[in-house]
């Protein structure tokens, strides 16, 4: 069967699965646009888009540029437009997973089966119907991988521009992807391909200048040479947020941390009144209004700079005086990292409608043998000393399989390069997959502790590709062993 036919069959499977999930009641969840901190005030995005993007500092501007453009042109039908875009991205993810497995030498039917299995899984569908970064980030990572491997295979400035364009999109959309990430990959390509060094630098130059411009703007306006000023909030998540109520009150009594750290992250600025002084208004709504037109907290409000300083100071004090809080953060981070993708508390709109399918998938493929009603139930189990049983509530197969797959891929890459049995495009592709798995996993698990299976989701396609490669190598090994040996002649 020709490759084109398999791509068409994957598109048909994608379309039929989405129709099936729709008939089961799954609908696109656009509520985050109105309520989540990742979005600037929707009214400002509609009417003061570029001013709001320029003064946006709590995260890079790319996500709100994308959101604002859709809100501007489709102010009443934006959920349907976002849904259509996410469906197209989902199909692109499906095709890219198949295409990259084929480049690595995975057989057609194995690559086809794994791509279809991945794209129809409930977790993928739930994220595809949820208005947040993850599907776009997954698509950009895969697009970068496709462009990179074709640049290695065929050279050409267009492929290099597409590759660095995808990396630029990642830096603009998600603060995980830092200037250092972009520079490291650019330097690695220049080192590995000295004959194409000029092409690499020229194609990376414009995105790099734009990233430097963003960082310089944030440094001049807000004193932070970065794409995001969210680090203070992260400090609270990995320190004070891990204290028990009695521990937190004791540290406040001793003066180690501020009473502000007793407040839940995301509290309205009014609750911080005793601890912060409201700054003078600037005349720029995205900086002045601490509550959006939809009633959500606007963390881009300049008053939250003082809150971030409190959290940073308290977090450093806890790390010095009570470092066990960070160990708790790491424990929670790795636990949630291995949760199945569909086990996410904010899928309350769609997950109940496909709960039986998702539960079956989680037990059979991910090894989640027990399910908690919410994350607080897991905390109660840990508090009662039932920590050993908690492993059954995460993905047991994921906890074993993902690290094993990562280690095997490193071994396969190193031995293949040493023995010169891996041709360069495959080696570069495997290296790129491993780099991103390692980088994103480290950033997510060492700097956060709650939604880590959401942070892992954009990597799931990369894990699926490595799984395809591992199964292909196993298939070939078994096939070689069972082949009859030629008869010997005396």
User: Predicted confidence band at 243 (pLDDT cuts at 50, 70, 90)?
Assistant: very high
Predicted pLDDT of residue 484: 57
Distance CA 230, CA 220 (A): 17
pLDDT, one tens digit per residue, over 11-60 is 999 999 999 999 999 999 999 999 999 999 999 999 999 999 999 999 99
Q: Specify the pLDDT at position 388.
A: 63
So what's the pLDDT on residue 232?
87
pLDDT at 486 over 70: no
Interval 164-207: pLDDT, tens: 999 999 999 999 999 999 999 999 999 999 999 999 999 999 99
Report the alpha-carbon distance of residue 342 to residue 351 in Å, rounded.
Answer: 7
- For residue 21, what pLDDT is reported? 98
pLDDT, tens only, 85-138: 999 999 999 999 999 999 999 999 999 999 999 999 999 999 999 999 999 999
As a whole-number percent, the residues of the chain with pLDDT over 70 amount to 95
Q: Which pLDDT does position 383 carry in this prediction?
A: 65
Q: Does 324 score more than 80 pLDDT?
A: yes
pTM of the model: 0.95
Average of pLDDT values for 320-342?
95
Query: CA 313 from chain center: how many Å?
Result: 28
Give the tens place of pLDDT for each residue, 58-77: 999 999 999 999 999 999 99
pLDDT in tens, 372-384: 877 666 776 666 6
Does the pLDDT at position 254 exceed 50? yes
Query: Would the pLDDT of 487 be above 80?
Result: no
What tokens does 131 get? 């208005």
């Amino acid at each position: 069967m020709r490759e084109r036919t398999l791509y068409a069959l994957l598109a048909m499977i994608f379309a039929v699965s989405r129709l099936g999930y729709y008939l089961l009641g799954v609908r696109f969840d656009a509520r985050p646009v109105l309520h989540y901190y990742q979005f600037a005030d929707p009214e400002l995005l509609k009417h003061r888009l570029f001013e709001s993007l320029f003064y946006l500092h709590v995260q890079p501007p790319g996500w709100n540029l994308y959101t604002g453009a859709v809100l501007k042109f489709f102010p009443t039908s934006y959920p349907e437009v976002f849904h259509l875009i996410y469906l197209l991205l989902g199909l692109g993810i499906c095709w890219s997973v198949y295409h990259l497995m084929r480049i690595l030498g995975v057989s057609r039917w194995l690559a086809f089966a794994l791509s279809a299995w991945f794209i129809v899984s409930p977790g993928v569908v739930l994220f595809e119907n949820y208005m947040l970064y993850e599907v776009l980030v997954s698509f950009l990572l895969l697009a970068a991988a496709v462009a990179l491997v074709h640049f290695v295979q065929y050279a050409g400035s267009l492929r290099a521009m597409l590759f660095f364009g995808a990396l630029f999109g990642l830096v603009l959309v998600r603060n995980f992807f830092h200037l250092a990430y972009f520079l490291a990959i650019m330097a690695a390509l220049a080192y590995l391909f000295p004959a194409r060094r000029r092409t690499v630098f020229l194609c990376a130059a414009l995105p790099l200048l734009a990233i430097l411009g963003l960082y310089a703007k944030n440094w001049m306006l807000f004193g932070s040479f970065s794409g995001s000023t969210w680090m203070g909030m992260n400090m609270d998540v990995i320190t004070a947020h891990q204290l028990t109520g009695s521990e937190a009150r004791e540290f406040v009594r001793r003066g180690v941390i501020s009473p502000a750290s007793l407040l839940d992250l995301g509290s309205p600025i009014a609750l911080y009144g005793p601890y912060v002084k409201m700054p003078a208004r600037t005349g720029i709504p995205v900086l002045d209004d601490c509550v959006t037109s939809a009633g959500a907290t606007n963390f881009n409000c300049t008053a939250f700079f003082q809150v971030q300083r409190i959290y940073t100071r308290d977090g450093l004090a806890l790390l010095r005086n009570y470092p066990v809080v960070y160990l708790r953060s790491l424990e929670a981070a790795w636990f949630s990292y291995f949760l199945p993708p569909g086990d996410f508390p904010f899928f309350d709109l769609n997950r109940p409608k496909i709960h039986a399918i998702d539960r079956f998938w989680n037990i059979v493929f991910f090894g989640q043998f027990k399910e908690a009603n919410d994350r607080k139930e897991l905390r109660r189990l840990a508090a009662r000393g039932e920590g050993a049983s908690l492993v059954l509530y995460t993905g047991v197969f994921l906890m074993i399989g993902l690290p094993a797959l990562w280690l095997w891929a490193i071994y396969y890459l190193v031995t293949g390069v040493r023995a010169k049995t891996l041709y360069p495009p495959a080696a570069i592709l495997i290296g790129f997959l491993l780099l991103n798995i390692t980088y994103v996993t480290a950033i997510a698990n060492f700097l956060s502790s709650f939604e880590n299976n959401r942070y892992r989701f954009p990597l799931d396609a990369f894990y699926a590709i490595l799984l395809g490669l591992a199964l292909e190598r196993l298939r070939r090994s078994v096939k070689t062993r069972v082949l009859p040996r030629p008869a010997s002649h005396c």
